[in-house]
Structure 1
Amino acid sequence: MNDLNQFKNYGFFVKKNLISPKEINKINKVVNEVISKEREKKNQITKTVLNLMIIIILFTIPVPQKIRKF
């Protein structure tokens, strides 16, 4: 009855050891791989954007020209 009361009060059941630690480790491994790949993609995009910004800045800075004396 405790589970039924808990469901009525909170809207969910709490079951211990529903998923084995081995399965949890497998899920964690997959999640960590996905997160690592997404971070790597984000870093590559950031580097590309920064490189483009540097190129734009370099081309917009006026280059001092030599002044000719007459």
Structure 2
Amino acid sequence: MTAPEERKELFSLINEATLAGAHQAHACNILGLSARTVQRWQRGEPDAVSQTAEVLLRVTVGWAGLLIL
């Protein structure tokens, strides 16, 4: 998962590169990101990792509740 502050910095770097003529996918690749991930961020979609972590937390908490009973 990427912190909001880090995302802002990454967006800034990608924007700077694209304004200089680079393709967004190439700029993302250099930063170690997939272009698809950046597109999801731009649309405000949550990280896949955060969704997975949330599901794992629910499952873990659910199992813990069963074990306590």
**TM-score, normalised via structure 2 length:** 0.39
Mark the structure with the bigger radius of gyration.
1
Q: Which has the higher helix share?
A: 2
Q: Which has the higher contact order (CA 8 A, sep 6+)?
A: 2
**TM-score, normalised via structure 1 length:** 0.39
